[in-house]
Structure 1
């Protein structure tokens, strides 16, 4: 028998989740899931892909707002009524909508834990965001879908293959199921959990966030378990998949122990077997910090020989498209016109002078352009 074994909600995007015994499953997701998010002053989402330490913040829901405990033990409380009434432009993965901004005092406190000014935003009861491929379905600050389903047996199979220790929480799912065969969920199209019917719309493509330790808030040095997933879960489009993105048909309460019934099946995605990529050997002795010229799209910025190009461009307010931040998806591919870079992995150097901005560090002054 296949059952629902765990339920997780994540009140603040990229911060610590809360394990529940039961929850209300609404059309936009579980109650309170990804209802809050940290953004830049311009409203662009900020996640643990860039700031892994975000996973060490612990949120707790209050009847009239949110309590947040920082990794150093400091805490802050913000009430719903304190959020600015004005709907402000907000963005997640190129999806533009509106949200409410927390008071200055909260934002100033939160900014002290980042290396840039940030804001805490709340969706408000009126959701203006929609699922890209289902414009009738409202969505929280989640990456793209209201629910993420993870199978315990699939996690166990990955643990068997992976040389590093893995925790189920690294995949940040909402609906955790047990009793199925490894990756059997790939073949499900429609399921019922208790009284609630769900459609598994597409596999979930994974990113560098899966490599961040929930206890330590740091990335795994060898990009595990993403590196292992890449060897047997790489789709034909290059995505590395794990888990299923889910939408709901009817609303109601779901409970741990609810039976899962498969109502409709589909053909599973085809995955390519790949050799494990050998990381480029990087000296443990970091080179002396040097400032250097970073020319992007004809404009010169100050750079250095320590950080990857993507992060350096972001520090200057330049948005380069990205998804995984792990050198897998290729979204951050840019043209290296002049100069030398140090790749963090062999696949970061592409044909015709292209490089992956998330996996290359400038070695000299560089001149770059979008593809």
Structure 2
């Protein structure tokens, strides 16, 4: 096996557009800058592309002070990273509560206009803690605003196999992975329990259960009218716990990973 890291994706704002760096720093909570920001409703509950298919059209570019937001029909908006002494807001993501920092009123107005309903932006700084599900974690494991785990990995061959079954191929970003691995068989990752990417080790802890967000085209911000790829995935990737595609990882170290790094299966 000659497995290599063929793509890296970071999503600064949960459910919004991806960045594709050539390298990324691995931290306890996942890749640096990945899902450290989140959009919430008026009650502080997270909102995602499951409810608002236009969210992947929101593009963000990091700058020295925070992020610059852009989206179709909107003027770009620079949003500063909130200072640690800013008021915290209790927000909810998948049943977990986090004391996050609220962004400024301009971000609230911009997002509310684009989404067509009241929305706010919050930031997870070092003091905002969210534990990984203890059923899969070790003491001290943390996660960002990602759905449940710090890192998501998918083999390129898994997507290639799926696309061979679809009338219209889809991009990997439908599945929003952080790491894409080439040089292995389709879904080889299902049999892994520990890997090393470059010099950083990860536990492979749980299959990723897929939802309706996979039917959202990130380029158009619209759902697939035929319900793909879920309709096809159900025919060969259904398990008692749902349709799975990709594996969730927990870092067991820190360091920089780069495109082309060797992916070694340790167990």
TM-score of the superposition, structure 1-length normalised?
Answer: 0.69
Q: Equivalent residues in 2 for 1:279-318 (5 A)?
A: none
Of 226, 231, 236, which residue of structure 1 is paired with 2:230? 226
Distance 1:81 1:126 in 2: 12
Distance 1:115 1:223 in 2: 24
Shift of 1:115: 2.7
* Residue in 2 that maps onto 1:155: 159
Of 185, 189, 195, which residue of structure 2 is paired with 1:185? 189
Are residues 1:253 and 2:256 paired? yes
Q: What secondary structure is seen at the aligned counterpart in 1 of 2:116?
A: coil
Distance 2:94 2:146 in 1: 10
Q: Which runs of 5+ in 1 are unaligned?
A: 265-371
Q: 1:113 to 1:83 in 2, by over 3 A?
A: farther
Are residues 1:35 and 2:24 paired? no
Q: What secondary structure is seen at the aligned counterpart in 2 of 1:223?
A: coil
- The structure whose Rg is larger is 1
Q: 1:47 to 1:189 in 2, by over 3 A?
A: same
Distance 1:100 1:28 in 2: 17
* Residue in 2 that maps onto 1:170: 174
Q: 1:249 to 1:82 in 2, by over 3 A?
A: closer
Shift of 1:106: 1.7
Is the Cα contact below 8 Å between 1:98 and 1:129 reproduced in 2? no
Shift of 1:73: 4.3
Number of residue pairs aligned between Structure 1 and Structure 2: 263
Are residues 1:216 and 2:207 paired? no
Of 142, 161, 175, which residue of structure 2 is paired with 1:138? 142
Is the Cα contact below 8 Å between 2:82 and 2:123 reproduced in 1? no
Distance 1:255 1:158 in 2: 26
Q: What secondary structure is seen at the aligned counterpart in 2 of 1:23?
A: strand
Distance 2:128 2:154 in 1: 26
Q: What secondary structure is seen at the aligned counterpart in 2 of 1:106?
A: helix
RMSD: 1.3
Q: What secondary structure is seen at the aligned counterpart in 2 of 1:71?
A: coil
Shift of 1:124: 1.7
Is the Cα contact below 8 Å between 2:153 and 2:246 reproduced in 1? yes
Q: Which runs of 5+ in 2 are unaligned?
A: none
Shift of 1:84: 7.0
Q: What secondary structure is seen at the aligned counterpart in 2 of 1:161?
A: coil
Q: What secondary structure is seen at the aligned counterpart in 1 of 2:51?
A: coil
Distance 1:82 1:126 in 2: 12
- 1:160-195 residue CA offsets vs partner (Å, 9 max, x unmatched): 112232111111000111000011111011111110
Are residues 1:241 and 2:248 paired? no
Distance 2:107 2:265 in 1: 45
Distance 1:168 1:83 in 2: 36
TM-score of the superposition, structure 2-length normalised?
Answer: 0.95
* Residue in 2 that maps onto 1:332: none
